Amino acid sequence: MNAPERMATFARSPFKERYDNFIGGKFVAPVGGRYFDNTSPITGQKVCEIARSQKEDVDLALDAAHAAREKWGATAPAQRAALLLKIADVMEQNLELIATAETWDNGKPIRETLAAESRSRSTTGATSPAVSAPRKARCRRSTKTRSPTTSTSRSASSARSSRGTSPS
């Protein structure tokens, strides 16, 4: 974990110099043109600038969200699931960078953010493509309608396992 090549990753800022608002699928400067400094609790130093949004920016974001709502709602559930899985895959491919950013941004020790990353990988099945394929298959199956008996039996077995009991 403390290998020099990994330590160098943690020493470099994971942030761009400036972040605008992400509205309607693109980065947009704040209407008022103002930014605030984001400082790291680790060093107290500025790590980047972030858009200082105001009412007009929120209104633009809401307008974009309402405009996208119809198209997203008309998209087949399986296609929406596939798009969300692609987002999850990109996040999983960048977990070390995300953990580093979290450490820089909130001061949590890197060992904790990396441990959370490991737990996330083990619960999502992101450790290898061979494990990711069954996860994707489960998600595809979950978009199909389940019969009431399937849902009931799963609920009953979940309740038993959470209580630490097994069926007699």
In the chain, where are the structural domains located? Answer: 1-74, 77-143
Task: Determine the pLDDT at residue 124.
Answer: 55
pLDDT tens-digit series, residues 53-85: 999 999 999 999 999 999 999 999 999 999 999
| Arithmetic mean of pLDDT over the chain | 75
Residue 144 CA to residue 68 CA, distance in Å, equals 25
Q: Give the residue, 155 or 97, on which the prediction is more confident.
A: 97
Q: What is the pTM of this model?
A: 0.58
CB–CB of 139/87 below 8 Å?
Answer: no
Query: Of residues 142 and 41, which shows the higher confidence score?
Result: 41
Give the pLDDT mean for 75-104.
Answer: 93
Tell me: pLDDT of 123 over 80: no
